[in-house]
Structures are given as structure tokens and as C-alpha cells.
Structure 1
Amino acid sequence: MAVFKLIPCLVLFALFSFDVGVAHPGFGFGWGSNGPSIGRTFSSGLFPQFYQFSCPQADEIVMTVLEKAIARNPRMAASLLRLHFHDCFVQGCDASILLDDSATIRSEKNAGPNKNSIKGFEVIDEIKAKLEQVCPQIVSCADILALAARGSTILSGGPSWELPLGRRDSTTASLNGANTNIPAPNSTIQNLLTMFQRKGLNQEDLVSLSGGHTIGVARCTTFKQRLYNQNGNNQPDETLERSYYYGLRSICPPTGGDNNISPLDLASPARFDNTYFKLILWGKGLLTSDQVLLTGNAGNIVELLNMGHDYSYSQPSKSEEYGGETADSIYSETEDLIRRDQAEIRYNYGEPVQYPPQPEALSKIACNRLQKELTEWQVNPPTGFRHKVNDNLQKWTIDVTGAPGTLYENETYQLQVEFPVNYPMEAPQAFFFPPGPLHPHIYSNGHICLDILYDSWSPAMTVSSVCISILSMLSSSPAKERPADNDRYVKNCKNGRSPKETRWWFHDDKV
């Protein structure tokens, strides 16, 4: 039924003006209710917890920068939404819009829909700089654009949504693609439908994405023809509501004033809500590409507009009802979603950094064993341990709390356990996220000198066995101190050596 697809797409909006803010917050991602969906998979290969371990502060950093930027300039929210859309609608959400001209690149910034109008680069630069301080060369520029689009929606009073991450950055741009793929503000309904169909999008998606005009402004140059010469006959667009028409004439005179602006949503221009749809039904859509949704006589678009008009973001149960698989079905199978051949993260949009390869998949035996252990863990976890559930069965993050009466009482540390493809025939790799506990057998880089992780491992052992051994080791320690060879060992590991590449000498069973 159509009703299950329309409303949540209101946060996936497309802005067709050259001068207004809009975006599609992450083409090709799954949809869900607020918060992460445990165990959920996405056909695009993205997942919300992509930076859970490598840069858990990413979203917080993005939101902190956005709050200040939008407080300084409320129109920045719309600008960032538009920036993301103009990136995604060309060759996928690959941050190609951030690339400048070079000997091999013709920048998309110089395309007609973008030149002298696309904004928000300085905010993206600031976010990137903050992330590089905390998580150098980890978060892709494409994901920064997606996170900024979602954050801008939230800060404008709109809903949040589950945003799968893991996009890659392109090292190429398409000036021609930017000139031909971004819908114009004077588009007819057939132009819009054709352009969206080329992207694998339908009528429902068109209406939903157009809802991005709930915030932002447009320059007179993008709609002046509606006031004075809509059909080449020196007459206004007869679909314009009369009082709205006269109001726009006072803003945009017949000559001059091309850079004067008008809000896309005159009732609530800075708030992300459903007023945009009401205005279209009342003949108060600003751009031709807005009003033709009503006047274009295409399919069930008018019915969809009425559905948008009836929706309220203050009704969370209704939002959940409309959730379904909307976004996952919109744009998850197209070739230009993520350009995997450009599997890179750019540092300040310059020299590309090769992204680390994905780990080899677990064997069927390992998957079955880990699923069983995970189920048992959730029912009866070892005392002092809490598994932080995520979508990655191959990596567990566990909170370790020191036992009462020990040196580590009430202290909590994070332990990561990574499983080899042939688990349990081979021991898992376990280490603490720095700074780990001060202990004679735990190095400052988190590596643990514990025999059952290496020579003494047995396939009969489990994750619980490892955790209990670690807690026992902590509980029996007489002093909080690092191993005697800590500095030398950590220095030797700076090239990325894992603890399993170390030849351990187990000589002290007392702690």
C-alpha cells in the first residue's frame, strides 16, 4: 500500500531550486524507528554502527559543530541539506561535490545548479577538522555530508532516523552529471518523473523528497517567470493563489531584484514540518517544480500530497506505522550508490587514503557457535561483564567492571573480542580499548598477556571463559602498574602489529 512509503520519506527531500537548501540524507540506507536496529542488515552494505569502535564520537562531533553553525546562520540547515542532495543525485553519495578543479578534475561546484549558490562547505570543513583531531583518516567525507544532513533536519525540528554509514569518497567528479541530473526549479511534472525514474525513484519518492522545501529560500531568478511570463505570453502562472501572487510581486519586480529571496514555505520557513504540502494544495507552492505536483495530473500524486498534508510529526506512532522498508527500497540497488572502486577516505578532500579491507567472513561453524554463545550470554552473562550488542557478530565490545574488594572495584573498561574465521578452533583476539586497566600483564595499548588467548586455548573454551580469566587476573593483582617492558613493546607495535603476532613468554601465574 502506498501509505507505508510516503511519510517517512519526508526526511529524504530533494530541492529543485538553484538557490534553496535540500538533500537526500543518505541514498540507499535502511529505515527504522529511532535508535539502532539490532541485527538488521542493509542491502547497500552500510550499517549504522560503522564507526562504533573506530570513531564512536563522530555523530556527537557533527552535532556540536552544526548547533553552533545553525545558531549563527539559521539558513545553514537548508544549505547543508541541499549540499548533500546535490552530491547524491549526480553519481551517488560519494562527496564528489567537495572536489575542486585540478589537472584531472572538472569540479561539480562549477555546474549551473551549483555555481555561486551551493553553500555550507566551511561547515563541512570544520566538522572534518574536528573529526581528524579525534579520529584521523577514519570518517569519510561522504558520511560527513550524510550526518550533517540528518543533523540539520533534527535541529530544524524534524525527525531523526537510523542512518547506516560506511560510504566511500570518490576521487572523480562529474561536471556534466551535475548539469544534467539535478532537477531545475522550472521542471514540468514529466521532467521530474523522468529524472527520478532514471534514479530508480517513483511518484511517492518524488512527492516525499520534494517535502524538503519545508525549509530554505529561493532567489527571485528561480521563480520570476511564474509572475510575469510563465508560458511565454507575458502572463503570470494562473495556478498561483492570488494573494500569494501579489506578495511575490512585491518581492520580485519585473526588472532587477533577481537576488531577492522568498521562503519556500511562507508559513514556517525555518521549521521542518508538513506545511509545505498544505501550501501546494492551496496554490502557494513557490517554484514551478513544487506546484506541478498538484497541477501536473500525474498518477496518484494529488492523493500523496493530501497524505503529506494530513501527517503530523507530533504523532510518533503514525511515524512508526509508515516506517516499513521505505528508504532501503528507494535507492539501494543502483550502481551509483557507492562507488566501491573508489574505496577511499579523503583527508581534507585531498590526497586519498586507502580504506582498510573488510575482514574475511566467518565460517558456518563459527557463526553457529557464536550465535549460541551470544544467546547464552544474553540470558546469563558472567558477573561483571556486559556485552554491548551491535550488528557485527565477529567483533564483540564488552564492558568489564572490577570485582568488589579488588584494586579495580567499580572501575569499568572496554574489552574488544575479535573472532577468527575458524573459531573456535583458533583463539579469539582480545584487547582493551586504551587506556586499559593498569596491570602487570596489560600493556598501555590494550594488549593482554594471558595464556588462554594463545598457547593454552582449547576449542572447548568460550568467550565467557576468556572474560572470567581476565577478571580473575585483575582481581588477583597486588599492584596497579604496567609490565616492565611496556614502553618497548608498545613502540614495537606502532606499525599495527596485533597481539597474536607477538611471541609471548608466560612466566608469572600469580597475577
Structure 2
Amino acid sequence: MATSFNFLLLLLLLLLAGSTAAFPNFFLSPSFYSYTCPQLQGIVRSTMKEVIRNDTTNIGAGLLRLFFHDCFAGGCDASVLLDDTPEFVGEKTAPPNRNSLRGFEVIDLIKKRVEAACPRTVSCADILALTARDSVALLHGPRWKVWLGRSDSMAVDQNAATFSLPGPGSNLPILLAMFAAKGFSARDMVALSGAHTLGRSHCSLYRDRIHGDSNIDPAFSAALRATCPLSAANATATAPFDRTPERFDNWYFKDLVAFRGLMKSDQALYGGGLVDPLVEIYSEDNEAFGRDFAEAMVKLGNLSPLFGFYREIRLNCRKVNA
């Protein structure tokens, strides 16, 4: 009797857990759509191949970031995809997301194709998870099993989107604390930070570092200052996070060891801190980085998937169903 009670109590606590803990995998399954939409993964992958082949702006980085910003701020529920309405202001306009997230039109295209094949079946949250995986895989990174079965949120949490996401000026203690609050280890945090091996950043986000930090390669900072001065005139300039911005590899960590991290929050991972050994391992071993990144992405995808009330399978990822 006591054993049964303890099991039920544990199950209740898991069901009530908030965004600070990942749901166990038995709530989701890699084969969730095997019978209801067996075409799903093929549709997503073929569309992602098409999109990345025609991409000139590294949309893969944008979709990977979109997934992270959805999951890390309130759970993997596709709330970040919702447009503003007269009833609520969406997460897209929260400060970390405003004018910076992209890839929404790709999700729209995939959702349209999935709906044509499997009407009212696949959530936008699951599509986001698959596009993140395929973005990495198609850009020469690792693959992993995506656990599926999430529902879509009918509400937004702009407060979580505003305050839960790491910022470009975050130091190492802040980064460790923010990730630990979501159930991630220091290894998870460093591996997930390696997502910055893809894409570029805006001058406004790295200006303070290249003009004020001393833990930076002088030649690197001098080159960036030429296009990103202290004045706001050239705030539209961008720079890659590492030397291979269109390939998923460990150059991000090689650059950190060389003190060529683009933002303060990047270089915070290396230079006399607790996670220096992890950065050095990843800088020397691309396979170790890929393996740990894949494991951390599975964990990220398990952050508070939506069950119970206030959920649905959206027909249009930008708005709740009528």
C-alpha cells in the first residue's frame, strides 16, 4: 500500500512539474506518428533540404534558435510561433525575440504540407523539434531521435520569454544558474552553447565586447571594430559566431580557446572558469561535442511538453484554432 502511494505521489509530482524539469520520455515517443502520419519525418526533411539548399542567410541557425527560444521559455509548446492578437501580446515581441527570431515562414510551409498529408494530427511544437534536428543534420552536425507527441499551447508567456532566456552579456555564473533552473548540467549548458557554431550576430549584441573587453584577441577585435564602431550608425553590421558559420562543427570552441568569442556570453565559457576543461575537450574532439550536443537537445525537447488543458493541435501555427 505504501509503495503504491509513493508511486502515485511521484507520478503526481512529475505531472505537476513546471518548466524547471524535463518530463520523462515515457510521455513522448519517437514513433508517436508511426500510424497517424508516417509521412511526417520525410515531409520535414525534404522541405528542410529544399530550404537549406536555397538559403542565403543560414536559416538553419534561425530554426535551431527558434526551437531553443520556444522550449527554454515556458516549455516546448510552440507558443513562440503565435502572432499578437487583440487578446494577448505574443512572445515574438519580447525583448530577446523582437526583430531577431526568424524561420516562421519555413514552419508555415512545413505545416501546410503536413496538414495536406495528415490533417489535424501533427502539432506545431513537434514540427519545431524536427526542424531543429534536421537543420543541424543537414549542416553536417549530428542526428538524434526526436521524441514526439507534444501539443500546442493556446496561450503565451511573454514574461518567461523576457526573463528566462540568457542574454548576450550573461556571465558564467548567470549562465550556469539559468540552465540549472531548467534541469541542465554544466556539460549540457556548454554543449548547447555550441549551437552558436551556426549563424551570425548583430553589432548591437557584440559591440560592448569588442570595444571594452580585455579577454579578446586584439586582431579579432580590431577587425570587428572596423564595421561595428561605438556609435549606433552601423548597428546593422553582423559578424559570424565562428569561422565556419554555415557548418555545424567545433570551430566555435576553437575560437573560444583563441579568445575570439563573439559575444560576452560566448567568451564567458572560457578563460579561467569552471567549464574551461569542457571547452577544451570540445575544441579538440568534434565527435564528443556532437554526441553531447545531441543528448542535450533531446533533454531540451523534453522541457515541459504540453498536456492537459489549454492545448490543441493548431491548424495554423501562428494562431489558435477558432
TM-score normalised by L of structure 2: 0.86
Q: CA deviation at 1:263?
A: 0.2
1:431-478 superposed Cα distances (whole Å, 9 cap, x missing partner): xxxxxxxxxxxxxxxxxxxxxxxxxxxxxxxxxxxxxxxxxxxxxxxx
1:380-420 superposed Cα distances (whole Å, 9 cap, x missing partner): xxxxxxxxxxxxxxxxxxxxxxxxxxxxxxxxxxxxxxxxx
2:229 is aligned to: 253
Question: Separation in 2 of the partners of 1:330 and 1:79?
Answer: 17
Asked whether 1:214 is paired with 2:191, we answer: no
Q: CA deviation at 1:341?
A: 2.8
1:181 is aligned to: 164
Asked whether 1:60 is paired with 2:36, we answer: no
Q: CA deviation at 1:309?
A: 1.2
- Residues 295 and 341 (structure 1), Cα distance of their counterparts in 2 relative to 1, 3 Å cut: farther
* Aligned residue type for 2:234: G
1:372 is aligned to: none
Q: Is the contact between residue 192 and residue 297 of structure 2 (CA under 8 Å) also seen in structure 1? A: no
Asked whether 1:195 is paired with 2:163, we answer: no
Question: Separation in 1 of the partners of 2:298 and 2:254?
Answer: 27
SS at structure 2 position matched to 1:262: strand
- Residues 81 and 330 (structure 1), Cα distance of their counterparts in 2 relative to 1, 3 Å cut: closer
SS at structure 2 position matched to 1:245: helix
Give the fraction of aligned pairs with identical amino acids, expressed as a percent.
39
Q: CA deviation at 1:281?
A: 0.6
1:307 is aligned to: 281
The structure, 1 or 2, with the larger RCO (C-alpha pairs under 8 Å, 6+ apart) is: 2
Q: Is the contact between residue 92 and residue 337 of structure 1 (CA under 8 Å) also seen in structure 2? A: yes
Q: CA deviation at 1:105?
A: 2.2
* Aligned residue type for 1:338: L
Of stretches 193-202 and 278-287 in structure 1, the one that deviates more from structure 2 is: 193-202
Question: Separation in 2 of the partners of 1:61 and 1:83?
Answer: 19
Of stretches 68-77 and 269-278 in structure 1, the one that deviates more from structure 2 is: 68-77
Q: Is the contact between residue 188 and residue 296 of structure 2 (CA under 8 Å) also seen in structure 1? A: no
- Residues 326 and 81 (structure 1), Cα distance of their counterparts in 2 relative to 1, 3 Å cut: closer
SS at structure 2 position matched to 1:346: coil
List aligned pairs for 1:324-403, cutoff 5 A: 332=302, 336-349=304-317, 350-352=319-321
1:150 is aligned to: 133
Q: Is the contact between residue 28 and residue 328 of structure 1 (CA under 8 Å) also seen in structure 2? A: no
2:10 is aligned to: none
List aligned pairs for 1:61-80, cutoff 5 A: 61-74=43-56, 75-80=58-63
Question: Separation in 2 of the partners of 1:73 and 1:66?
Answer: 10
- Residues 319 and 76 (structure 1), Cα distance of their counterparts in 2 relative to 1, 3 Å cut: closer
CA radius of gyration, larger in = 1
Q: Is the contact between residue 184 and residue 289 of structure 1 (CA under 8 Å) also seen in structure 2? A: yes
Unaligned segments of structure 2, at least 5 residues: 1-20
TM-score normalised by L of structure 1: 0.55
What is the CA RMSD across the aligned residues, in angstroms? 2.4
* Aligned residue type for 2:46: T
Unaligned segments of structure 1, at least 5 residues: 1-26, 30-41, 229-235, 354-511
1:98-155 superposed Cα distances (whole Å, 9 cap, x missing partner): 1112233220011011111111111100000001111011110000100110111011
1:263 is aligned to: 240
- Residues 151 and 222 (structure 1), Cα distance of their counterparts in 2 relative to 1, 3 Å cut: same
* Aligned residue type for 1:43: N
- Residues 171 and 178 (structure 1), Cα distance of their counterparts in 2 relative to 1, 3 Å cut: same
Q: Is the contact between residue 200 and residue 330 of structure 1 (CA under 8 Å) also seen in structure 2? A: no
- Residues 54 and 324 (structure 1), Cα distance of their counterparts in 2 relative to 1, 3 Å cut: closer
Q: Is the contact between residue 90 and residue 181 of structure 1 (CA under 8 Å) also seen in structure 2? A: yes
* Aligned residue type for 1:226: R
Q: CA deviation at 1:331?
A: 7.4
- Residues 78 and 176 (structure 1), Cα distance of their counterparts in 2 relative to 1, 3 Å cut: same
Question: Separation in 2 of the partners of 1:175 and 1:306?
Answer: 36
Q: Is the contact between residue 28 and residue 44 of structure 1 (CA under 8 Å) also seen in structure 2? A: no
Q: CA deviation at 1:226?
A: 1.3
2:150 is aligned to: 167
1:212-267 superposed Cα distances (whole Å, 9 cap, x missing partner): 01110000000101122xxxxxxx210011111111112212221111000001x2
List aligned pairs for 1:426-505, cutoff 5 A: none
